[in-house]
Amino acid sequence: MKEKFARWDALFVQYMKRDWKKIIIWVLGLGLFSGAYVPAFEEIAKGKGLLGMYETMQNPAMISMVGPTPVNTAADYTLGAMYANEMLLFCGLFAMIMAALHVVSHTRKEEDHGLTELVRSFQVGRQANSLAVVTETILINILLAVFTGGVMASFGADTISAGGSFLFGASIGMAGILGAVIALVMAQIMPTSSGATGSSLGIIGLLYIVRAGTDVSNVDLSMINPMGWTYLTYPFTENNWVPLIWATAFCIIAVIVAFALEGGRDMGAGYLPEREGREAAKKSLLSVPGLFIKLNKGVMISWLIAFVIMGAAYGSIYGDMQTFIGSNEMMSQMFTLAGVSIEESFTGTIMMVMIGLVSILPIAIVNKLFSEEVRLHLSQLYSTKVTRAKLYWTSVILAIVAGVIGILLASCGLGGTAISAMGDSSSMDIGDFVAAGYNFLPSVLFFTGLAALALGWAPKLGKVIYAYLGYSFALNYFGGILDLPEWFSKTAVQSWVPRMPVDEFDEAVFSAMTVISIALMVFGYFGYRKRDMVEGA
């Protein structure tokens, strides 16, 4: 026993020294994200806010996303109940993912990189590293739990008791530990670190989806789901510590299993055989577009799914918008415009916000070409008959196509959920949503054009496009509240586009922006055609 874990304490101290910056950011960031929104929720709770939010949260779509509340009447839906209802599951999910990534990166990934080999050549036990990493991760999550609880309690809100706050924090910390042990088990089974990361995140995703189903149909069934042992503690309402005991037992068993598995395997190998890849390439890969699609596939699929979920999340609010917005001064100031329904006004604004986010994907695809260039992936391609035009325009066109699909998915996600949430009272059809979405197409093209321009002339500035997108986004988001001068708002490119369905479609603006964007892409190409390729610089 001693032999197996020899010097784990030295490794543990070393890891704390190595990771202290990451730990501070982790604990502070996630802790504040989890615990510090109390004032914002107090704002929402004003007037009839709690009532409206209670109704909204009864929507099965919302339950499937953020989880259920044990409260049965709107009158009992306190600030604390709302906070736990809306925040706990998501914060726990983040804590799980963080911990899982951390554990894999310090166990299996280090084996793949050959670091473990070096460490193990000293007088270090076979399983010392795993023990040190697990201890470190548990400690981090305990810190996170205490910090989150402390932050929440410090606001001194009536319905957010100190006991409930620490249960809230402990639930999040326990979620993190669950994520860590799941990752530790997968790190033993899978043949590579990327396999371990992928399968851990896959299991977490699966648990989340399964609980979405059981939460809506029968909450009791969620109690047999490890993820259920975190948010079903219901802080501030039932204050039930029992699920955490289940979770602790599960973690202890999982750690024992992981150590048993690790004891029986070779370093750098797993229990599942390494999947053999293709010996020859599929036809679909054998072209520049085929290659670029393959390279961007992961990013594209994950963002496109995110767009649908984002659309659906905003769409589910439509059902109770009247009560919700009517009770909130800040919100109603943002959305109420004379002569239009609150839903239409909301659609115009939220569409701008969403399509702003959709722009991230095309920028990422265009920037990818430069990162491939710097990583020397293209060196050998340059000497083939592949033209620079082909590389450039394939990237730009792929980015545009991704943007067009992104808008479609985001607006259909929003529209579809909104229409079903509004039921008979719906004043808009899906066409209105799609039209409102594509109305912002020129802004997506414009960001694509800017990224392309940077790629051609100053590729290192590609990342700055994100900053400008963030700036425009913030300006639009808060522009409605702050009374900004006209010229200042216009520095955000989306401000030029009228907001359908409240405003009329403006053909002149639409085509002018499209032409400018295409001109940027063409101009970028002139730069790309004649500049030196940056290799490894």
Partner 1 sequence: MAEIVKVQGLQKKFGKFKALHDVTFTVNAGEVVGFIGPNGAGKSTTIRTLLGIINRDAGDVKIFGKDVWKDSLEIHKRISYVPGDVSLWGSLTGGEIIDLFIKLHGGGDKEKRDYLIKRFELDPKKKSKGYSKGNRQKVGLIAALSVDSDLYIFDEPTSGLDPLMEAVFQDEVEKIKHAGKAILLSSHILSEVERLADKVAIIRQGKVVETGTLDELRHLTRSTVTLVTEGDVAKMASVNGVHDFKQTGNQATFSADNEYINDILSEAAKLSVKKFESVPPTLEDLFMRHYEV
Judged by CB under 8 A, does residue 423 bind partner 1? no
8 Å CB contact between 133 and 183: no
CA dist., res. 353 & res. 481, Å (int): 15
For the segment 185-204, give every residue that binds partner 1 (CB under 8 A): 192, 194
From first CA to last CA, the distance across the chain in angstroms is: 49
Residue 276 has what DSSP assignment?
P
Judged by CB under 8 A, does residue 113 bind partner 1? no
Query: Which residues fall within 8 angstroms of residue 273, CB to CB, at 6 or more apart?
Result: 191
Query: Which residues fall within 8 angstroms of residue 518, CB to CB, at 6 or more apart?
Result: 445, 449
Least gap, CB of 274 to partner 1 (angstroms): 8
Query: With respect to partner 1, which residue has the nearer C-beta, 118 or 285?
Result: 285
Which of 286, 305, 467, 515 is the binder for partner 1 (CB under 8 A)?
Answer: 286
Least gap, CB of 532 to partner 1 (angstroms): 4
Judged by CB under 8 A, does residue 266 bind partner 1? no
Stretch of residues binding partner 1 (CB under 8 A), selected from 154-162, 375-383, 452-460, 509-517: 375-383
Judged by CB under 8 A, does residue 460 bind partner 1? no
Three-class secondary structure of residue 474 per DSSP: helix
The sign of the torsion formed by the CA atoms of 213, 215, 219, 221 equals positive
Query: With respect to partner 1, which residue has the nearer C-beta, 265 or 529?
Result: 529
Judged by CB under 8 A, does residue 354 bind partner 1? no
Three-class secondary structure of residue 532 per DSSP: coil
Burial 72-95 (b: 16+ CB within 10 A, else e): eeeeebbbbbbbbbbbbbbbbbbb
Count, residues in the chain: 537
Judged by CB under 8 A, does residue 483 bind partner 1? no
Stretch of residues binding partner 1 (CB under 8 A), selected from 1-9, 18-26, 321-329, 527-535: 527-535
Judged by CB under 8 A, does residue 273 bind partner 1? no
Stretch of residues binding partner 1 (CB under 8 A), selected from 80-88, 167-175, 228-236, 286-294: 286-294
* Amino acid (1-letter code) at residue 191: P
Stretch of residues binding partner 1 (CB under 8 A), selected from 13-21, 32-40, 272-280, 419-427: 272-280
Q: What is the Cα Rg of the chain in Å?
A: 26
Stretch of residues binding partner 1 (CB under 8 A), selected from 28-36, 229-237, 270-278, 446-454: 270-278
Least gap, CB of 491 to partner 1 (angstroms): 32
Judged by CB under 8 A, does residue 299 bind partner 1? no
Which segments of 85-149 are extended strands (E)? Answer: none
Give the interface size with partner 1 as a residue count (CB under 8 A): 33
CA dist., res. 200 & res. 182, Å (int): 6
Stretch of residues binding partner 1 (CB under 8 A), selected from 139-147, 164-172, 359-367, 378-386: 378-386
Name the token pair of 345.
Answer: 């006004």
Judged by CB under 8 A, does residue 382 bind partner 1? yes
Name the token pair of 57.
Answer: 């949260």
For partner 1, the binding residues (CB under 8 A) are 192, 194, 276-282, 285-288, 291, 294-295, 375-377, 379-387, 530, 532-533, 535-536
